[in-house]
Structure 1
Amino acid sequence: MGGSSAFHIIFSVTFMVILLGGLCEAVFHIAVDIINDIGPNVQLGLHCKSKNKDLGSQSLAFHQHWGFREAINLWETTLFYCHFEWGSESKWFDIIELKRDQWLCENNQCVWSIRPDGPCRLTGQEKCYPWHAVI
């Protein structure tokens, strides 16, 4: 009888973790929209990824948009970075840094303008950031 009760408790806890984890994963997302604002006639190459997910390479004409939507992990440590190239330039930036963006992006939508001096978040109050140093 004691073994059966332990099984039911373990089963119930496991089921709740899976159910709640699935609900949290399905409910909390962040969307990113990236705009090429480097300059007229300048093609912007970009490649975004996280520790576990590679979104592949993209190429954007001037003022063209590209975006993606990702689930926020349970620990709220979601991080995506992008590598940008145009002309002879090669830059990178953390395009989703949840602690920085979560409360500033309207309706969990972050719009980024990619400019020569650095990316600028257009949602909320516009804020520009410097490029990360290339190692």
Structure 2
Amino acid sequence: MASSNYSFTVLAFLIVLASISIDSTASSLIGKKKHVHVVNNIKSASNRIYVHCKSRDNDLGDQYLPLNKEFQWSFRDNIMGTTLFFCTINWKNVHDKRRYGLVYDSYVALKTKCDTDCIWSARSDGVYFYEEDSKSYVFKYYWNVIPPKQQ
């Protein structure tokens, strides 16, 4: 009887130890929680910009950002290292009355160079990414002119 209690105690200890080991391995594979920010820094935009971000699994919905406001979301990379979020941004220039927009990858696992905060700044000449190494914004994408709808 004492031997079966001892065996049960050893087995329970090994199960707890294995679960701790699996948990720490999984969290090191998945990595830190990421926070992606899209900030409206377009002074010539009429009122606000339209932002829509999503991944294969998550549609984050339509967002309308006034000047100097941001849309932000958090996630962890999937275990396969294939996490991808992309965003659409559209806005209307108050000076030339044209609409501008683009679709870009806002986060690509193993490619996007950010530790925990991935910051995108929408500006009148394009979209910039904050690089933590240089502690500065780097130009990444030009805007596309969106043609007026044909009647």
In the alignment, structure 2 segments of 5+ residues that lack a partner are 1-14, 93-98, 147-151
Return the alpha-carbon distance in structure 1 between the equivalents of residues 130 and 27 of structure 2.
Answer: 29
In the TM superposition, 1:88-107 aligns within 5 A as 88-101=99-112, 104-105=113-114, 107=115
Question: 2:127 aligned with 1:112, yes or no?
Answer: no
Return the alpha-carbon distance in structure 2 between the equivalents of residues 81 and 128 of structure 1.
Answer: 17
Code of the residue aligned with 1:37 in structure 2: it is N
Are residues 72 and 132 of structure 1, via their aligned partners in 2, closer, same or farther at CA, if it must alter by over 3 Å?
farther
Superposed displacement of residue 33, structure 1: 1.3
Q: Which has the larger radius of gyration?
A: 2
Following TM superposition, the consecutive aligned residue runs of length 4 or more in structure 1 with deviations greater than 3 angstroms are: 18-27, 131-134
Code of the residue aligned with 2:110 in structure 1: it is K
Q: Is the 8 A contact 2:88 2:101 kept in 1?
A: yes
Partner residue in 1 for 2:6? none
Are residues 25 and 53 of structure 1, via their aligned partners in 2, closer, same or farther at CA, if it must alter by over 3 Å?
farther
Partner residue in 1 for 2:64? 59
Superposed displacement of residue 76, structure 1: 1.5
Question: 2:22 aligned with 1:35, yes or no?
Answer: no
TM-score by length of 2: 0.64
Deviations 1:15-39 (A, max 9, x none): 79x8568645885321111110122
Q: Is the 8 A contact 1:21 1:74 kept in 2?
A: no
Identity %: 24
Superposed displacement of residue 77, structure 1: 1.5
TM-score by length of 1: 0.71
Question: 2:125 aligned with 1:121, yes or no?
Answer: no
In the TM superposition, 1:40-51 aligns within 5 A as 40=44, 42=46, 43-51=48-56
Q: Is the 8 A contact 2:90 2:102 kept in 1?
A: yes
- SS of 2:57 mapped into structure 1: coil
Are residues 132 and 38 of structure 1, via their aligned partners in 2, closer, same or farther at CA, if it must alter by over 3 Å?
closer
- SS of 2:87 mapped into structure 1: strand
